[in-house]
Amino acid sequence: MIHLYGLPGSHPTMTVQRMLEHKGIGFRRIDLVPFLARAIVRRGMRLPHNTVPVLAIGRRRIQGSREIARELDRLHSDPALFPADPEPRRAVEEAERWGEEELQHPARQISLWAMRANREPIRSYMERPIMGMPRAMAARLASPFIDRGVRVNEATDAAVRANLAALDSMLGRVEEWIAAGVLDGKELGAADFQIGASVSLLMTFQDLRPLIEDRPAARLARRAVPVYAGDAPPVFPPAWLEPLRSGALAAR
């Protein structure tokens, strides 16, 4: 049996979940308690980083959404997550790298900031019990974990405002890849799931959703991740959304 260890609401965990589903590989997802997850992954599983997703295949543990994508292609080559030809493969790998290194963290900071500003919707992001703890109880205990997540990930006002200001051009970059056929092609691949999970997470926020949902990047996200649990009422200062709003208007 394959186990996917993640955290509630975690977009790289969703990337791996969707890649497993896409390949039709049976698995069980286990969501850990944030913070405790670090010790479990680092000390318990003796992995080099303190992050999820982690895939456990028998006694083997693979950590990191990009490493796992490659392992899944080794395990189950069809449908492939990467093109076979070197040139298109390089393009998909570059989009995937960008998705992991440059889009994933801003999406994390934006989400954690929003969770701290309004803790009410946290339960909607919890799809399953968390290490055996019922969701309602986990949601009641979530506050210190959110505070810690904000601190550790430096989800400051300045960082989140800058991320929101950059979002229009980041989505524009995704859309250039879509137009070039690197993303959103006939078969979805590793870069689609990597980027789609971040865009889908962003669309769980009611003040971001209407500014994103008509864009080609949103179509890709809905295709890669048709259901992303979570729904959070408006929380961002309107001025922070202006650059994204102007981008959405310009695109009409």
Ligand X SMILES: N[C@@H](CCC(=O)N[C@@H](CS)C(=O)NCC(=O)O)C(=O)O
> Binding residues for ligand X, per CB under 6 A?
7, 10, 12, 34-35, 37-38, 50-53, 64-65, 100, 104, 108, 149
How many Cβ atoms are within 10 Å of 133's Cβ, its own excluded?
A: 15
What is the closest distance, in whole angstroms, from the C-beta atom of residue 209 to ligand X in the complex? 20
Smallest distance, ligand X to C-beta of residue 108, A: 5
Residue 121 and residue 231 in contact, taking contact as beta carbons nearer than 8 Å? yes
Smallest distance from ligand X to CB 10, Å: 4
Q: Which is nearer to ligand X, 149 or 189 (CB)?
A: 149
We find the least distance from the C-beta atom of residue 65 to ligand X, in angstroms, to be 4
Output 93 or 100, the one with its CB closest to ligand X: 100
* Nearer to ligand X (CB atom), residue 17 or residue 65: 65
CB 111 within 8 A of CB 159: no
Question: Shortest gap between Cβ of 194 and ligand X (angstroms)?
Answer: 8
- CB nearer to ligand X: pick between 112 and 218: 112
The number of beta carbons lying within 10 Å of the beta carbon of residue 26 is 8
Q: How far is the CB of 149 from ligand X (least distance, A)?
A: 5
**Long-range interactions of 154-159: CB distance < 8 A, separation 24+:** 154/109, 155/108, 155/109, 155/110, 155/112, 155/113, 155/116, 156/113, 157/113, 159/109
Length reported for the chain = 252
Give strand pairing partners of 31: 6, 130
d(CA 33, CA 79): 32
Query: Using an 8 Å Cβ cutoff, are 192 and 224 in contact?
Result: yes
Burial class for 208, CB neighbours closer than 10 Å (0-12, 13-18, 19+): buried
Which residue number, 38 or 245, has a Cβ lying nearer to ligand X? 38
Are 136 and 215 in contact by the 8 Å Cβ rule? The answer is: no
CB-closest chain residue to ligand X:
51
CB of 238 to ligand X, least distance (A): 27
Closer residue to ligand X (CB): 7 or 221? 7
Nearer to ligand X, 15 or 175 (CB): 15
Tokens, residue 182: 């690197």
